Amino acid sequence: MFKVAVIPGDGIGPEVISEGLKVLDALEETSSLSTQRTMLEIGASRYLRTGELLTEDDVDTLARQDAIYFGAIGDLRIPTGVLEKGILLAMRARFDQYVNLRPIRSWQNFSRLKNEAPFNITFMRENTEDFYMGTGGTFRGGKGKVSLRVKRSLYDLGIEMHASSSVPDDFAFEVGIHSRRGVERFVDFVVRQVNQAGLNKVTVVDKANVCTDLYGLWREIFMEKSERVGVELEFIFVDAMAMSLVRNPDRFGSVATPNMFGDILTDLGAELQGSLGLSASGNINPSGISMFEPIHGSAPDIAGTKRANPFGAILAAKLMLDHLGRADLGMRIERGVEDAMGKGILTPDLGGSSTTSEVGDAVVQYLSRV
């Protein structure tokens, strides 16, 4: 039995997560799968009521699970960044989920771009470092001191900054950081994935021609490690990667990216598939607790309209089962999604007219049939 914490969150989060849970129910009825679910109210409504983001109690409960199944957070009543940093990024850092795994594949031809050939790309996004450290500040009037502190499982890093400008202007900054250990463990994961996929090459994204230190160390470690294990590297700058993804997505297999570029490129990848609504991701800690979520956000503009696409959340449940060692069931979910698509049971973002729950029902029907 797997213990799964369920955090539906805000906006369309609860609507799509309930379809994912329906799919898990159907698998429990037709296979040996069994889950024990703990629902947690973490997100905007609790924050507005109590001021709490990710609490120590939440962390204690989550720490006892085998996996976390997460919807989306974000609410127009709350300043942007509060929930994102206080909940989602906090969870990724707290549980040291250092890889964000985002498969991007072609389904039917949903995309506005003409895809000449099918593609199947595994994006691995480093998920705890880069510009996502929460190490920013502003020197008002161009003067002052800032003490930064980053606490991660791997290290507790203090940085002192002191500014003195020739003109009395405001200067804002955000520090991007890579640690040797942080990149090494990420590269180890990438190499394992490449081997498991039966490939021997990985595309490594960065902007080492401009951010020479931040991505210089990144490259150095990729080169050291890959040479040792005989994996071929293809380095590509992020701007060229954006272009190539649109032009020839079929030329990529395994792709490794730093945190921020991975955020951007996987939204692009999602649209190559046809919709942000059908992409899923796993925030992976290979020896800890991983969290699975659709890559879309809370989409408050369509919340409550039954238009939300649940495929992303359903495929996040697939990634969770793969991770828990039940790739056989993960495969069934993927087939169920293909079957629903084949029947044209699609939400409006994919050009259909079905509701969120009709799409979930279609996947459930497939699972009950086979």
**Could you tell me the CA-to-CA distances from 128 to 5, 134, 177, 284, 328 in Å, in that order?**
21, 10, 10, 11, 30
Rounded least distance, CB 264 to Mg ion, Å: 7
Question: Judged by CB under 5 A, which stretch of 53-61, 116-124, 259-267, 298-306 contacts Mg ion?
Answer: 259-267
Helices (H), the chain: 13-30, 44-50, 56-63, 82-83, 90-94, 180-196, 214-229, 238-247, 259-273, 311-323, 327-342, 356-369
Do 16 and 69 contact (CB within 8 A), yes or no? no
Name the binder of 258 from ligand IPM, Mg ion, none, CB < 5-8 A by kind: none
Rounded least distance, CB 67 to Mg ion, Å: 21
Q: Is the Cβ of residue 319 or residue 329 nearer to Mg ion in the bound state?
A: 319
Do 87 and 51 contact (CB within 8 A), yes or no? no
Name the binder of 271 from ligand IPM, Mg ion, none, CB < 5-8 A by kind: none
Using CB under 5 A, which of 96, 126, 130, 263 touches Mg ion? 263
Q: Is the Cβ of residue 295 or residue 308 nearer to ligand IPM in the bound state?
A: 295
Binding site for ligand IPM (CB under 6 A): 84, 88-89, 263, 295, 297
What number of CA atoms fall less than 13 Å from residue 66's CA on the CB side? Answer: 14
Do 205 and 238 contact (CB within 8 A), yes or no? yes
Do 122 and 197 contact (CB within 8 A), yes or no? yes
Name the binder of 84 from ligand IPM, Mg ion, none, CB < 5-8 A by kind: ligand IPM
Q: Is the Cβ of residue 220 or residue 267 nearer to ligand IPM in the bound state?
A: 267
What number of CA atoms fall less than 13 Å from residue 49's CA on the CB side? Answer: 6
**Backbone phi and psi for residue 132, each to the nearest 5 degrees, phi listed first:** -105, 30
Name the binder of 89 from ligand IPM, Mg ion, none, CB < 5-8 A by kind: ligand IPM
Tokens encoding 313: 């959340």
Question: Judged by CB under 5 A, which stretch of 149-157, 234-242, 257-265, 319-327 contacts Mg ion?
Answer: 257-265
- The residue sitting closest to Mg ion, measured at its beta carbon, is 263
Q: Cα separation of 12 and 171, whole Å?
A: 37
Rounded least distance, CB 315 to ligand IPM, Å: 14
**Contact pattern for Mg ion over residues 196 through 215, marking x by CB under 5 A:** --------------------
Q: Is 130 in the site for Mg ion (CB under 5 A)?
A: no
Question: Which H, E and C letters describe 101-114, residue by residue?
Answer: EEEEECCCCCCCCC
Radius of gyration in angstroms for the set of CA atoms belonging to the chain, rounded to a whole number = 21
Among residue numbers 45 through 104, which ones bind Mg ion (CB under 5 A)?
none
Name the binder of 88 from Mg ion, ligand IPM, none, CB < 5-8 A by kind: ligand IPM
The conformation of residue 289, written as its DSSP 8-state character, comes to -
Q: Is the Cβ of residue 79 or residue 198 nearer to ligand IPM in the bound state?
A: 79
Rounded least distance, CB 34 to ligand IPM, Å: 29
Question: Judged by CB under 5 A, which stretch of 124-132, 160-168, 263-271, 346-354 contacts Mg ion?
Answer: 263-271
Rounded least distance, CB 116 to ligand IPM, Å: 27
Q: Cα separation of 141 and 165, whole Å?
A: 8
295: helix, strand or coil: coil
Question: Judged by CB under 5 A, which stretch of 152-160, 174-182, 260-268, 301-309 contacts Mg ion?
Answer: 260-268
What residue ranges bind Mg ion (CB under 5 A)?
263
